[in-house]
Copies of this chain bind each other. A is one copy, B any other.
Amino acid sequence: MSIPFRERAFHRWLVGAFPPHRGELLPMGDDVAAVRVGRSILLLTTDALAEGTHFLPGSPAGLVGEAAVGASLSDLASKGGRPVAVLVDLLLPRASDPKWAQEVLLGAERSASRSGCHVVGGDTKSSPARAVVGTVVGEADLLPLPRRDSARPGDVLLHTGTVGRGGAAARALEGRRAPNRAVLAELLAIVPRLAEGRALAPFARAMIDTSDGLADGARRLAEASRVRVTVDVARLPWSPKLARGLGERERLSTALYGGDYELLASVPPARVARALAAVRKAGGSARPIGRVRRGRGAFLLETGGERPMPAAGWDPFAAPRRPVGKPGGRRRAILK
């Protein structure tokens, strides 16, 4: 029996089937698991990238390795974690050039060492299809951890960095039969906001990364926390990667649905100034882009007023057959 696999329904099942046990500090539905070991709070997170879904046969192997680790480091950043060690699993066909595997691992190590840790182990196995799994073990310095389900009415929504980098990359790939290296590279270029995450964690009630786009992040935050999240379009920090030629609507749709791997934090108003100062001190940037209120769902505030955030983000199981890299696969269908 072949049933289309739906990521969100599966997640709902997961949360119900795996209630947290003693010593587990985050629920199953979160992007990161947290357990106590001795006096330490251990953070565990893993991301799988598959050829055809998240990267293409022509994607530079080193960047695939960087992205597999970078995606997990970005999840770790959303809990304010410090990375400790990285594991990498490789699945690759029997007749594979060992250079591909080597470049993936060297890329993974580049990403790890930029963040102050190393690839310490992993596994390599034969499989009909290529895939790379990056698993990051990290540590948290303080509790409570910012969760996905802990945003509260009244909170201010802070966003690190810019919006639109991921969407711009996905757009550049669309319609190209043989995308060049620079375009493929841009899709996989993840800069995990670890310093910003550590700066925000003491002040943020909830935090999430925008690995599947800002719209998706806002929606997940709203859904998990049972609140209404409004993103103010006028306050979005546009990425310089967004082409200047784009119209306003085009620019917005590109920005909302690309994986930017920025952080979205829900911060009580009294702590906003300190949170922003901490991010600046850490060498990063963040700004308020919206509010959390009573209600449900994610909304956009535009000059004409508020409207519901148009549909969902990126569901890897519902994406079109032709992969476009990590983010943005459903953008056109969603915003048409």
- The interface of chain A, by Cβ under 8 A from chain B, is 1-7, 9-10, 13-14, 17-18, 21, 24, 28, 30, 32-33, 35, 37-40, 42, 44-54, 84-85, 87, 89-98, 101-102, 105-106, 109, 118-129, 131, 133, 135, 137, 139, 316-317, 319
Contact = CB atoms under 8 A, between A and B. Distances in A.
Contacts of A9: 98
A18 to B, nearest CB: 6
B37 A139 contact: yes
A84 B35 contact: yes
Contacts of A137: 35, 37, 42, 44, 137
Nearest to A20: B120
B46 A89 contact: yes
Majority DSSP secondary structure for residues of A touching B = mixed
Please list the 4 inter-chain residue pairs (A to B) with the smallest Cβ-Cβ separation, ordered nearest first: A50-B127, A33-B121, A129-B129, A33-B120
A95 B4 contact: yes
B10 A124 contact: yes
A191 B5 CA distance: 31
Given A10-B101, A17-B102, A54 B96 contact: no
Given A96-B5, A125-B316, A102 B50 contact: no
A85 B121 contact: no
A128 to B, nearest CB: 4
B126 A129 contact: no
A134 to B, nearest CB: 9
A127 B44 contact: no
Contacts of A119: 18
Nearest to A22: B118
A17 B47 CA distance: 23
A3 B97 contact: yes
B38 A38 contact: yes
A125 to B, nearest CB: 4
Contacts of A96: 2-3, 5
A316 B5 CA distance: 29
Contact of A101 (B5, B45, B98, B121): B5
Contact of A121 (B32, B53, B97, B98): B32
A6 B24 CA distance: 40
A123 B316 contact: no
Given A118-B21, A135-B87, A94 B317 contact: yes
A35 B117 CA distance: 11
Contact of A47 (B33, B109, B123, B131): B123
Contact of A48 (B13, B53, B54, B125): B125
A10 B122 CA distance: 12
B33 A85 contact: yes
B37 A37 contact: yes
Nearest to A24: B120
Given A24-B118, A120-B44, A121-B45, A50 B128 contact: yes
A333 to B, nearest CB: 15
A229 to B, nearest CB: 24
Nearest to A94: B317
